[in-house]
Chain A
Amino acid sequence: MNWEYAPAPESRAIANLKPNYQMFVDGQFVDGGGEPLKSINPATEEVLAEVATANAEDVDRAVKAARRAYDKVWGKMPGAERAKYIFRIARMIAERSRELAVLESLDNGKPIKESRDSDVPIAAAHFFYHAGWADKLDYAGYGPDPKPLGVAGQVIPWNFPLLMAAWKLAPALACGNTVVLKPAETTPLTALVLAEIIRDADLPPGVVNILPGAGDVGATLTTHPGIDKVAFTGSTEVGKLIQRSLAGTGRKLTLELGGKAANIVFDDAPLDQAVEGIVNGIFFNQGHVCCAGSRLLVQESVADEVLEKLRHRVSTLRVGDPLDKNTDVGAINSAEQLAKIRELSASGEEEGAERWTSPCPLPDKGFFFAPTVFSQVSQSMRIAREEIFGPVLSVLTFRTPDEAVAKANNTPYGLSAGIWTDKGSRILWMANKMRAGVVWANTFNRFDPTAPFGGYQESGFGREGGRAGLEAYLDV
């Protein structure tokens, strides 16, 4: 029996795509002084829209607008009033969720089922959750009447464009800061629709400013003397540059950087769900996830069984048109990222790992990479140490819990870890030993605005979400 699922694409028209997108500064959509960039659809390599970018003067103007808004309105507004604005944003994201989901999939390449069921609803949830904090900061545990920091400069990555904007904006606004945010160069569109929502929600001009552009705009923004707080999510390499550039300035900084998470499967694990968790851990969002479970550590006694189940499961993953509701793995975000994934995968083969690639068909056009599993991997190989940020899993084995801990922690990163076992005491012991900011036991890649997220060591510092996440935007 050969049952082909007919294509079930979401209509591109729902995205309300415009030929041109402008920057959002001081409550207005305006052209920028930078060279406009073309945002392309990574699934087709077609240009989606032309987007204005900022130059140094634009950054300056936006920071000044944010400062005015902070001094005159937002910083002294009662928390209950700020809350109502933020609640409005949450509601309006939900109202425009289908449009945002389709636009996100077009611009980023992620499958519509993920943008629809994950990115957009969690983005709305982040605003809703943080709105409630705005008039309750006295109870957040940072002493009475904690003060905002002022103007926040925020730089976000391309893997979850709208969601990362929400993670950054919601707590900043709830705590009473104003913001200048730079979306990623390759994925600026949903942040600019979010700017429309912010305008339509009647936020005072200047409270939120959104400036598209490349890394140079980010550098100008994060080092601008008018900024009180810098928040960055992206690569460890750039994170270090930012931390260096802020040395001696006294400016508060939070970083959410890379990872090389271990997903550890013990022989008593619920194996079928572990396989689901492994698949979700590395193939969710094409593996473009800083907390991806990119190193599978499996106990030797079940390694063959797990690998066999894994290959069967991975071969059912449907790779292709991100707008097709049946697509499991979409397009790699950019040609550059695809080249990086290919290069690291090639190194895996050269270094002697055994490569298995899903036999799934790939589209002719666009940036696609078939789900790939490397077995016989050792810690010394590049594919076990470097963040690939793509649908490539490295499988290592262990014999004892101590060995699993040693291998899992043997990385300068420390963002997340996964543990699969049916033994409760072992879960707690392992969770305790993991040097990682998020530990998922018998599950993986769960996110919630109430649960703090962030890394140890070179995965960054500061938390997003929960009570702990407020610290980043308060003068405490």
Chain B
Amino acid sequence: MSDRLAVAKTYKLYLGGKFPRSESGRTYQVRDSRGTFLANAAQASRKDVRDAVVAARKAFGGWSGATAYNRGQVLYRVAELLEGRREQFIAEVAASEGGQAKRAQAVVDAAIDRWVWYAGWTDKIATVLGAANPVAGPYFSFSVPEPTGVVGICAPQSSSLLGLVSVLAPVIASGNTAVLLTSQDRPLPAITLSEVLATSDVPGGVVNILTGRTAELAPWLAAHADVNALDLTGAPKDTIADLEEAAAGTVKRVLAVRGNEPDWTKQPDVSRLRRFLETKTVWHPMGV
């Protein structure tokens, strides 16, 4: 143990590729699993949500228009950088979630592997979900999956890194952009992840990360007319009905998880990718 006094990190929001404080100036205390003070996190406001949606919308054209191959490389790059910060994440996950160090190691390794898994999906999902439609007529018809747009995500409350990656990666892998509300009480791995995202090749605005009170912020996200879809995986159970109701205002696609938080260590399937994709069917006559 060194005598040197460590330099503590200021945890801020990640918004449009930058790290601002909350426009409200609010912060809240984050404590570890035993209740020891860890840091002051920014407590985002509805205006931060608003700004995040603007940033996400702005980034959507470029990110959804990037080639799938390029998005795959960018996601893989995230895994690479995460690997380089493995020890830091193990420490933060352990602090946030408690438990054995071995468990934190396994969680971080799984999170890195998850990025790799989704990185590989970017240029395959259209093959798997798309189709050439054998229509009864002189037409060439095909269907392709396309990203839904801006997705609002309530990240899981318990699994601060693996759960976070498991909900975020499928959203952006297919070309959506995201406004993500972190686990309220365990936000630090998410903020550190945003530092990884900022230094990887993920364009600013593709992922926007807000820390704060989920119950306060989620309704603004759910009702925002420029948000196309919601992932309510980490939304407090007693707010889901209200959030779904608000989402109906602009016919948002909603993914809500009933019951307990899923076991994120299980190998995922493509259902989370599918949930935030639209199918576009194109027709053209065939003639001379």
Q: Do chains A and B touch in the complex (CB under 8 A)?
A: yes
Question: What residues make up the interface of A, taking CB atoms closer than 8 Å to B?
Answer: 125, 141, 143, 236, 239-241, 243-244, 246-250, 255, 257, 412, 427, 431, 434, 436-443, 446, 448, 450-454, 456-461, 463, 466-468, 471, 476
Say yes or no for B199: interface residue by CB 8 A criterion: no
A248 B253 Cβ-Cβ under 8 A: no
A450 B283 Cβ-Cβ under 8 A: no
Bound-complex Cα distance A454 to B251 (A)? 13
B251 partner, pick from A248, A438, A460, beta carbons under 8 A: A460
Say yes or no for B249: interface residue by CB 8 A criterion: yes
A452 B283 Cβ-Cβ under 8 A: no
B51 shortest CB reach to chain A, Å: 22
Bound-complex Cα distance A446 to B256 (A)? 34
B133 A450 Cβ-Cβ under 8 A: yes
B248 A451 Cβ-Cβ under 8 A: no
Bound-complex Cα distance A441 to B281 (A)? 11
Bound-complex Cα distance A427 to B253 (A)? 28
- The verdict on A247 contacting B245 (CB below 8 Å), with A437-B280, A441-B284, A451-B141 known, is yes
B283 A247 Cβ-Cβ under 8 A: no
A2 shortest CB reach to chain B, Å: 35
A438 partner, pick from B256, B269, B281, beta carbons under 8 A: B281
Say yes or no for B52: interface residue by CB 8 A criterion: no
- The verdict on A461 contacting B133 (CB below 8 Å), with A244-B245, A439-B282 known, is no
Q: Which residue of A lies closest to B287 (CB)?
A: A442
Query: What are 20 A-to-B residue pairs whose CB atoms are below 8 Å?
Result: A240-B251, A244-B244, A247-B243, A247-B244, A247-B248, A250-B258, A431-B280, A438-B283, A440-B283, A442-B284, A443-B139, A446-B139, A448-B137, A450-B135, A450-B136, A454-B279, A458-B251, A460-B251, A467-B131, A476-B271
A443 B133 Cβ-Cβ under 8 A: no
A379 shortest CB reach to chain B, Å: 17
Q: Which residues does chain B contribute within 8 Å of A436, judged by CB atoms?
A: 280
A248 B129 Cβ-Cβ under 8 A: no
- The verdict on A250 contacting B256 (CB below 8 Å), with A436-B280, A476-B271 known, is yes
Say yes or no for B31: interface residue by CB 8 A criterion: no
- The verdict on A441 contacting B282 (CB below 8 Å), with A255-B251, A412-B250 known, is yes
Q: Which residues does chain A contribute within 8 Å of B58, judged by CB atoms?
A: none
Bound-complex Cα distance A240 to B137 (A)? 35
Say yes or no for B261: interface residue by CB 8 A criterion: no
B251 A450 Cβ-Cβ under 8 A: no
Chain A to chain B: the 9 pairs with minimum beta-carbon distance, closest first: A248-B241, A247-B244, A243-B248, A448-B135, A247-B245, A451-B133, A244-B248, A450-B133, A441-B284
Q: Which residues does chain A contribute within 8 Å of B101, judged by CB atoms?
A: none
Bound-complex Cα distance A466 to B135 (A)? 10
B181 shortest CB reach to chain A, Å: 19
B28 shortest CB reach to chain A, Å: 28
A236 B251 Cβ-Cβ under 8 A: yes
Q: Which residues does chain A contribute within 8 Å of B55, judged by CB atoms?
A: none
Say yes or no for B242: interface residue by CB 8 A criterion: yes
A448 B269 Cβ-Cβ under 8 A: no
Say yes or no for B228: interface residue by CB 8 A criterion: yes
Bound-complex Cα distance A125 to B225 (A)? 38
Bound-complex Cα distance A454 to B135 (A)? 16
A466 partner, pick from B128, B133, B139, B148, beta carbons under 8 A: B133
Q: Which residue of B lies closest to A236 (CB)?
A: B251
Q: Which residues does chain A contribute within 8 Å of B241, judged by CB atoms?
A: 247-249
Q: Which residues does chain B contribute within 8 Å of A442, judged by CB atoms?
A: 284-285
- Over the window 234-256 of chain B, the binary record of Cβ atoms lying under 8 Å from chain A Cβ atoms (1 yes, 0 no) is 00000011111101111101001
Bound-complex Cα distance A308 to B248 (A)? 42
A439 B283 Cβ-Cβ under 8 A: yes
A426 shortest CB reach to chain B, Å: 12
- Over the window 129-149 of chain B, the binary record of Cβ atoms lying under 8 Å from chain A Cβ atoms (1 yes, 0 no) is 101011111010101000011
